[in-house]
Each structure stands twice: as structure tokens, then as C-alpha cells.
Amino acid sequence: MSTAAAGLPVVELAASDLPAFCPNPQMPVWNHHPRVFLDVVTRGEAMCPYCGTRYRLKAGEKVTGHH
């Protein structure tokens, strides 16, 4: 996980990590919100509407088939 310029966390995903969802397994249980699935394939990144965590595909990742 890296940090975005605005200070919000960024989670970089491999194609094998899809489908993307938040909260992710690395987040502390006390900080969970309802699970939402995020479309990172269309634009290469998406932001969680609950906590603001940004998810993006790692550079060079190729997504094939349905995820």
C-alpha cells in the first residue's frame, strides 16, 4: 500500500486480485464499513465511497476475461 498525494491510502492491485472490494482484508476490523465492489478495470482506478481509499491496477497489469 502506498500513500496518495492527498494523504489517503492507495491500494495497488494485480489482475489476480480482482474483483476489487473495500474494505480489504488488510484493514483493521474495527474500521470496517459495508463491503462495496469497485470497478478498477474501466479507468484503472476507483475510490471507495465510504472511506476514500483509492484502488488502482499496478502498472503494466493486463486484465483479461470477466472479473
CA distance 10 to 39: 15
Lowest-confidence region among 27-31, 42-46, 58-62: 27-31
Residue 57 — very low, low, confident or very high, per pLDDT cuts 50/70/90?
Answer: very high
- Element housing 18 (H / E): none
Q: What's the pTM? A: 0.78
Residue 32 — very low, low, confident or very high, per pLDDT cuts 50/70/90?
Answer: confident
pLDDT at 5: 46
| Per-residue exposure over 20-55, b if at least 16 CB sit within 10 Å of its own CB, e if not | bebbbeebeeeeeeeeeebebbeeebbbbeeeebbb
Query: What percent of the chain stands above pLDDT 70?
Result: 84
Residues contacting 7, CB < 8 A, separation 6+? none
